[in-house]
Amino acid sequence: MTPSNSPTTLFASRISGTGSAFPEGRLTNQELAVRVDTSDEWIRERTGISERRIAKPGDPNEFNSSLGYRAALKALEMAGKRPEDIDQILYATCSPDTLVPSTACWLQAKLGAKRAWAVDINAACSGFLYGLSMADTFVRAGQSKTILVVGAEVLSSFVNWEDRTSCILFGDAAGAAIVERTSSDSPQRILSSHLHSDGTLTDLLGMPAGGSRSPVTADTIALKQNFLQMKGREVFKVAVKTLADFAQTAIETNGFKAEDIDWFIPHQANLRIIEAVANRLDFPMEKVLLNVERYGNTSAATVPTMLDEAVRDGRIKPGHLVLLDVFGAGLTYGSILMRW
């Protein structure tokens, strides 16, 4: 686990703008129940999800980078910045436009962010927090002043729509944040980030084929190995424990108590996971921000889309303590605490 909250540097970082974007198409539980053997009642009870947004295959307006573009424009506008102000684009996704080049470069071209360097980050559902932590580190090191961090997915392209144990969960979306330099004694800043991964758990969630280890062939397609595969029950158990542990670490490292946190934004994979974590932390659900019912699990996009919504509707106010907490394939984990 790598903590980062050194008070000895001159600079700190803060989020000055957020944005989000979703595909137009909605897929309800009832519609899913026509495709696979499931029901609205089962999905709601076991996951808390009612519907999700699904990008229209092949529609250039709904490519991963196009959703990222729309989210980035909104974040730039809120921050009062232009694309030319961006020093870096950190694009968290595990469902890129193309394996090569990076989705970050597709986005850079769309934005006209000529000064930036751009790179993808693959930490699956934890990607946005990995990106935010990296952005914070680059800013505190004095290397960059303005960084665009995006968490965006079009996982509908990688879901096995015949597998009822996984296809019910996922949706498409993009969220973005502008991370800017501020002084290290500024109250409004990222206070800490804690990241960790456990590569011994790669078999719990992933896509066996499609990379160089197992390129897509007629055989791998027939075996559906180019789609997401998941050991849901095992992931569930690890998720509850690690989300609770990482939230606790963030709170304690900064000398706070759970009741000091104004808003908790956990990865939105399953409402039951979130409720179990809140229960472990003795944290009231009223202070947990949720969008899983409307969008499902949008992987790297769950946290930035939820953050954007709560900033725009005024729930998150200046001075609030906001705790972000994620887990994802890898397995990867992380928490970030910030003063808004």
In the region spanning residues 268 to 287, those forming contacts with ligand UT7, defined by CB under 6 A, are 269-270
Q: How far apart are CA 221 and CA 210, in angstroms?
A: 9
Q: How far apart are CA 247 and CA 278, in angstroms?
A: 10
Q: How far apart are CA 84 and CA 312, in angstroms?
A: 24
Contacts of 183 (CB under 8 A, 6+ apart): 10, 11, 12
CB of 132 to ligand UT7, least distance (A): 17
**47 lies in the site for ligand UT7, by CB under 6 A:** yes
Chain-centroid distance of CA 163 in Å reads 23
CB 191 within 8 A of CB 132: no
Closer to ligand UT7 at the Cβ: 105 or 124?
A: 124
Q: Which stretch binds ligand UT7 (CB under 6 A): 81-89, 189-197, 232-240, 306-314?
A: 232-240
- In total, the chain counts a number of residues equal to 340
In the region spanning residues 102 to 121, those forming contacts with ligand UT7, defined by CB under 6 A, are none
CB of 128 to ligand UT7, least distance (A): 12
Task: Give per-residue burial for 157-183: e unless 16+ CB within 10 Å, then b.
Answer: ebbbeeebebbbbbbbbbbbbbbbbbe
Torsion of CA 301, 303, 306, 308, to 10 degrees: -80
Contacts of 266 (CB under 8 A, 6+ apart): 243, 247, 273, 274, 277, 288, 325, 326
CB of 313 to ligand UT7, least distance (A): 25
Query: Which tokens belong to 165?
Result: 């144990």
Binding mask 124-143 for ligand UT7 (x = CB under 6 A): -x------------------
- If you search the block for the tokens 């089962």, which residue do you land on? 42
Contacts of 18 (CB under 8 A, 6+ apart): 74, 75, 78, 175, 176, 177, 178, 304, 307, 308, 311, 312
Residue from 79, 90, 107, 168 binding ligand UT7 (CB under 6 A)? 168
Instruction: Indicate the residue whose CB is closest to ligand UT7.
Output: 232
In the region spanning residues 148 to 167, those forming contacts with ligand UT7, defined by CB under 6 A, are 164-165
**184 lies in the site for ligand UT7, by CB under 6 A:** no
CB of 329 to ligand UT7, least distance (A): 7
Q: Which stretch binds ligand UT7 (CB under 6 A): 17-25, 39-47, 57-65, 255-263?
A: 39-47
Closer to ligand UT7 at the Cβ: 135 or 292?
A: 292
CB of 213 to ligand UT7, least distance (A): 21
CB of 233 to ligand UT7, least distance (A): 5
**236 lies in the site for ligand UT7, by CB under 6 A:** yes
CB of 230 to ligand UT7, least distance (A): 6
Task: Give per-residue burial for 223-248: e unless 16+ CB within 10 Å, then b.
Answer: eebbbbbbeeeebbebbbebbbbbbe
Active-site positions read 125, 267, 297
Closer to ligand UT7 at the Cβ: 88 or 93?
A: 93
Beta strand spans in 69-145 (E) = 88-92, 117-121
Closer to ligand UT7 at the Cβ: 27 or 105?
A: 27
Q: Which stretch binds ligand UT7 (CB under 6 A): 5-13, 174-182, 235-243, 314-322?
A: 235-243
Residues binding ligand UT7: what is the number (CB under 6 A)? Answer: 19
Number of Cβ within a 10 Å radius of residue 249 = 18
Instruction: By CB under 6 A, name the binding residues for ligand UT7.
Output: 38, 42, 46-47, 125, 164-165, 168, 205, 230, 232-233, 235-236, 239, 269-270, 297, 328
